[in-house]
A and B are shown apart, each in its own frame.
Chain A
Amino acid sequence: MIEAYVERASTYAGDIDNLFSMVFWIVAVWFIAAEAILFYFCFRFRKVDGVATEYITGEEKHHKKWISIPHYLVLFFDVFIVIGAVAVWYDVKQRLPEPDLVIGVVAQQWAWTFIHPGPDGVLRTDDDITTIDELHVMENVTYHIEMESKDVLHSFSVPVFRLKQDIIPGRRITGWFKATRTGEWDIQCTEICGIGHALMPARIHIKSAYDHNQWVVQNSPNSSGQALASISQP
């Protein structure tokens, strides 16, 4: 259902969407039932002259069960939601699969700096490519992003990945993703960071291995296209 509005471009985007859908259907049933009963009672028990009300304390067992049974059913469905939530959470946030490449993300008031490994495929070497407000990645490659902030809290968000991570000054926080399709989409800062909070949009460029390598070679300060070739195998 989210995919009607935002494309899916990561391995876990579908899982998050499916979790949403599962919760939606479980919750929709309860919601519609509750509202329907509420409206029905309003209609059925509207004031009619001559009809007396019933005296019900709600302490009697045969009345209480109408509350207890839904109560236990809610708990039962909650178990499914918890399992689904924990499974997705574990995949995105608790585990860190081995990275093919690592990218540095530096947030500040009010811009994003991205440090891409150069042709040698290693971050924090001389051939790194530093960009402002544009992130370039390949599809089908597992990336780690190491996020830092220079000043206040920021948050790195890529809606098409369904990924979001707050960035705390004084720490380096690592996340991961693996893009599943090419395209160009928004990167957002999703933690209010001052008057320029809306002035730091960025774009992610997900390209095929070939196109991405071209970009690397063209933009790296010390270019030598060989080391990257071995990593770009799908």
Chain B
Amino acid sequence: MSFSEKYIFSTDHKVIGLQYMFTGIFMALIGGFFVYVFRMQLAFPGIEVPFYGTVTPLAYNSLVTNHGTIMIFWFAMPVLIAAFGNILIPLMIGCDDMVFPRINRLSFQIFLLSAIILIASFFVPNGGFGGAWTAYPPLSAEAAYNSTPLGAPMWLIAVALEFVAFLLGGINFITTLMNARAPGMTMYRIPMACWMIVIASILFMCSVGPLIAGAVMLLFDQTLNTHFFDAAGGGDPLLWQHLFWFFGHPEVYVVLLPAMGFVADIMAVMARKKLFGYKTILYSVFATGILSFVVWAHHQFIAGIDPRMANLFTVTTLLISVPIAELCFVYIATLYGGSITFNTPMLWALSFLVEFLIGGVTGIFLGASGADIYFHDTYFVVAHFHYTFVPIAIIGFYCGITFWFPKIFGKMMNDTLGKIHFWGTIIPFNFIFIPLFLLGAAGQHRRIYNFENFQDLALPEFFNLRVIATVSLIVMICFQLVFLVNFILTLRKGKKAPKNPWNSNTLEWTAESPPPHGNWPVLPTVYRGPYEYGHPDRPDSDYWPQDEPGPDPADPDYKSTQA
């Protein structure tokens, strides 16, 4: 096969997965650069930011907008769902590829096009769109208001194309999981990583529709002078908000679920312990998914909706914290009675729980409508969603890459460098966002390029907090170099990885590292669930691979050999 057949136009799920991964990482570097620039401006207003220059208000809004947009749509989703989903699902369910490999390739091509359009939008006159990732009209609908006549529609088209790419990708994931499982892999024998990615895809497919309709309407308002969202023309600006958040809230669970899937699998392997309450997890996730469709207006409490509606959404929002809390309890319970090895993947998995708990509980303040009156559009919200999104996107990514690196690339990453990178990421992360909680409590509002303009916010103690956050960000960014070095050094001269370095039960570890095209010469058969660790009937081995012929202890007829 030529290079282009093998790497550019491949239909192999592993290659396509890596294409998504590297594109996503590249986009994350751009999104990360943007946040570096605007945080420098916030901490040191008017500064000539190294490697950028001075930040104008126009540029600031665009940096903030595209940081958020890129991190969610061009980093979190492609890496967690498209990259790991593509690489892992066929391997974990024991088949040779996705069921529609050519549609898979098409979905990446559309995704790549969307990324190119978005990047192109930064170079047109007046630059990229600056109306926030939420793109509320009328600001987003008229160039006269947003000052980015080309950037705004290009941003919108890029986002719409990304949605199409993920709809196509989702078809593959869902259909493959439903139909292409190895013989013997019944519903409750599917690893959590696969379940979570597929449920996320279903959530995405069921929630993005109204926003696609809305995006068409907004694009027409922007380019054809229709008035869907223009009050003066007979339209309604609030309609966009409902369409956006009807998708926007399920979207956060779309990205959360895959990360939780990776954490579950890593914890079971590294604690040598059966996942606690597999079915409880599944049902909690289903409940969360369904509830996620009826909480959206908590983003709009003070937006001008009927105030009576707010009470309904406070109730549903607080309700949704219950299954999520349950998931956290169940994961913690998995540790009980285990035998935990604290290697790099496990550190990341545990840190996900530690940090996500902060994000989760701070959401309660915002879901309580009375308190949200004060906190809406402040940095308290920013800190809350970074305490959820960073665990999801960044910790989730590192969970996946450090755990599955041996399988994907056939080499073992250096664990010491891995731990240095881990601490150098987690510690600064907290020093970025705890100051932002405090600034939010002080009433500091969002999307403001210079707090010197506000007497009550221009106080030295607040600037100190901004500086701490910014310096911590720079430290955190610098430590990512450790990961980069580890990654590249390992690829070049790392130790060759065995098939199953973690002694894991799941099917991907029975293939070669890395797996060839087609994954196995003979596709495996499954005999039990993925989490049979530490079973008392196997004194010689603390794990029981799924494809090893033999009984299934979860089977009601199973006869234990213990007295």
Contacts and interface: CB of A to CB of B under 8 A. Distances in A.
Given A85-B368, A88-B371, A159 B443 contact: yes
Interface in A137-161: 151-153, 155, 157, 159
B535 A55 contact: yes
A153 B311 CA distance: 23
Contacts, number: 290
B311 A78 contact: no
Given A46-B340, A74-B322, A152-B138, A23 B371 contact: yes
B99 to A, nearest CB: 32
A47 B326 contact: no
B151 to A, nearest CB: 12
Contact of B370 (A30, A41, A88): A88
A7 B190 CA distance: 55
A19 B368 contact: yes
Contact of B136 (A87, A89, A153, A185): A153
A1 B274 contact: no
A173 B447 CA distance: 23
Contacts of A64: 277, 280
Interface stretch (A124-132, A193-201, A211-219, A223-231): A193-201
B373 A45 contact: no
B315 interface: yes
Contact of B377 (A30, A84, A164, A167): A164
Nearest to B324: A74
B455 A203 contact: yes
B400 to A, nearest CB: 21
Nearest to B365: A23
Contacts of B328: 34
Given A47-B341, A164-B374, A192-B61, A6 B443 contact: yes
A175 to B, nearest CB: 9
Interface residues of B, number: 98
B67 to A, nearest CB: 14
B361 A67 contact: no
A89 B456 contact: no
Can you list the 8 inter-chain pairs with the closest CB atoms, starting with the nearest?
Answer: A170-B231, A88-B370, A54-B337, A58-B277, A159-B443, A53-B534, A85-B368, A58-B276
Interface of A: 1-2, 5-6, 15-16, 19-20, 23-24, 27, 30-31, 34-35, 37-38, 41-42, 45-48, 51-59, 63-64, 66-67, 70-71, 74-75, 78, 81-82, 84-90, 92-94, 109, 151-153, 155, 157, 159, 162-171, 173, 185-186, 188-199, 201, 203
Interface of B: 56-58, 61, 130-132, 136-139, 145-147, 231-232, 237-238, 271-280, 301-304, 307-308, 310-311, 314-315, 318-319, 321-322, 325-326, 328-330, 332-342, 350, 353-354, 357-358, 361-362, 364-365, 367-371, 373-374, 376-378, 438, 441-443, 445-450, 453-457, 533-536, 542, 554
